[in-house]
Amino acid sequence: MSKTILIIEDNRLNYKLLADFLGVHGYVTKNLHSGLTAVSCVHEWRPFLILLDIQLPDISGFDVMELLKQDPLSATVPVIAVTACAHAEEQHLAKSKGFHGYMTKPVDMKALLDIVRAFEGPEISSHNGIKL
């Protein structure tokens, strides 16, 4: 199984923090600063998980999620919303759009690692007990 995680995050410092932390734990990360090429990159990189910022400069994370769901390969990859917004309305919207989890920034690294490990492996169910 791939140990690759796709991080769609436009803030380079946020990406570096996530990538360095996950790298220490044995994961390979790929970064996109834009969500427009997410589907083609899923085909190329075959990540087992996507961490998706909701507020991107060119397209919202919700719109990226819609694009991912329209493609048979990317539709099967679990997606965790990562956002600075902690509003209950956005969390509810993320759940209704099909996100598999929701994390607020600054990211709790222990919680992130727990989520990543929960989605790693062939025995993954669609939500694997991760609450939105």
In-domain check, residue 129: no
Angle, vertex CA 62, rays to CA 1 and CA 5, nearest 5: 20
DSSP 22-33: HHHTT-EEEEES
In-domain check, residue 8: yes
Q: Which helix (H) or strand (E) holds 103?
A: strand 101-104
Contact 55, 85 (CB under 8 A): yes
Query: What CATH number has the domain bearing residue 88?
Result: 3.40.50.2300
In-domain check, residue 124: no
Structural domain containing residue 49:
4-119
Number of domain units in the chain:
1
In-domain check, residue 39: yes
pTM over 0.85: yes
Query: At which residue do the structure tokens 């992130």 appear?
Result: 112
Contact 42, 32 (CB under 8 A): no
pLDDT digits (tens, 9 = 90+) for 5-46: 999 999 999 999 999 999 999 999 999 999 999 999 999 999
In-domain check, residue 125: no
The average confidence (pLDDT) of the chain is 90
In-domain check, residue 114: yes
pLDDT digits (tens, 9 = 90+) for 89-101: 989 999 999 999 9
In-domain check, residue 132: no
In-domain check, residue 52: yes
